[in-house]
Amino acid sequence: QKEVEQNSGPLSVPEGAIASLNCTYSDRGSQSFFWYRQYSGKSPELIMFIYSNGDKEDGRFTAQLNKASQYVSLLIRDSQPSDSATYLCAVNQYSSASKIIFGSGTRLSIRP
Amino acid sequence: ETGVTQTPRHLVMGMTNKKSLKCEQHLGHNAMYWYKQSAKKPLELMFVYNFKEQTENNSVPSRFSPECPNSSHLFLHLHTLQPEDSALYLCASSQDRVDPGQVVGNTIYFGEGSWLTVV
């Protein structure tokens, strides 16, 4: 079992709809969770991080964490074509950033 | 000026060449990292430096040699590489915390990457 699993996609969502990206992780002791966006040919950029169970909202983005189910998701409201990218889920198993494990990413495509 | 800068952005080298990738962070962080990203593979952590000391080496072949002269600069020296080493090499930094339970501040910030092609 992979430590951090994501559906590779592509996930196709119409413009203006909600895009839902999911991630599961294997280490129950994981402490912090990150979502990165990576455009083709570019480096990953941080969108959000979340530490506590529940929802965390930042503009059109909402991260959701359920530690009991070992599940973290990212919702993108009012999807725009500029949201088309690969989204990487990352999980920190300890308080040291060197223990951050990345998923392989979900490719999101927003169709006009 | 971006927080983490990498040079060169693109590099083509032969298998017998020696070259270096350079990274500089302007964020005041104490930890720096090298990651490798190949097509259709997850990000692979290669090396970690914390306060200039190497704390992680994820079984990276010796043809990759890191150097961290201070907390702001990180190099990756390359020699006798193989075509399968062609990839995007990402430098990153963070304000690392090692105290148990202290999760705040360990977010990783990436540079723009160096595209390496080995011919």
Asked if A98 lies within 8 A of B48 by C-beta distance, the reply is yes
Phi, psi (degrees; rounded to nearest 5) at B110: -95, 150
pLDDT at residue B103 is higher than 60: no
Asked if A51 lies within 8 A of B103 by C-beta distance, the reply is yes
pLDDT at residue B1 is higher than 70: no
**CA separation for the pair B47, A69 (Å, rounded):** 31
Cβ–Cβ contact B66 with A under 8 A:
no
CA distance B95 to chain A (A): 8
Predicted local confidence at residue B50, as pLDDT: 86
**pLDDT tier at B55, thresholds 50, 70, 90:** confident
Predicted local confidence at residue B115, as pLDDT: 96
Cβ–Cβ contact B39 with A under 8 A:
no
Written as one string, the DSSP assignment of chain B is --SEEEE-SEEEE-TT-EEEEEEEE-S--SEEEEEEE-TTS--EEEEEEETTEEEEE-S--TTEEEEEEETTEEEEEEES--GGG-EEEEEEEE----STT--TT---EE---EEEEE-
pLDDT at residue A98 is higher than 70: no
Predicted local confidence at residue B59, as pLDDT: 87
Average pLDDT over residues B98-111: 66
- The amino acid occupying position B8 is P
Asked if B42 lies within 8 A of A43 by C-beta distance, the reply is no
Average pLDDT over residues B22-31: 93
Average pLDDT over residues A76-90: 96
CB atoms within 10 A of CB A5: 16
- In the numeric block, the tokens 């032969």 are attached to B14
Closest Cβ–Cβ partner in B45, B100, B111 for A95: B100
CB atoms within 10 A of CB B100: 10
Convert the pLDDT of each residue in B56-101 to its tens digit: 888 899 999 999 999 999 999 999 999 999 999 999 998 866 555 5
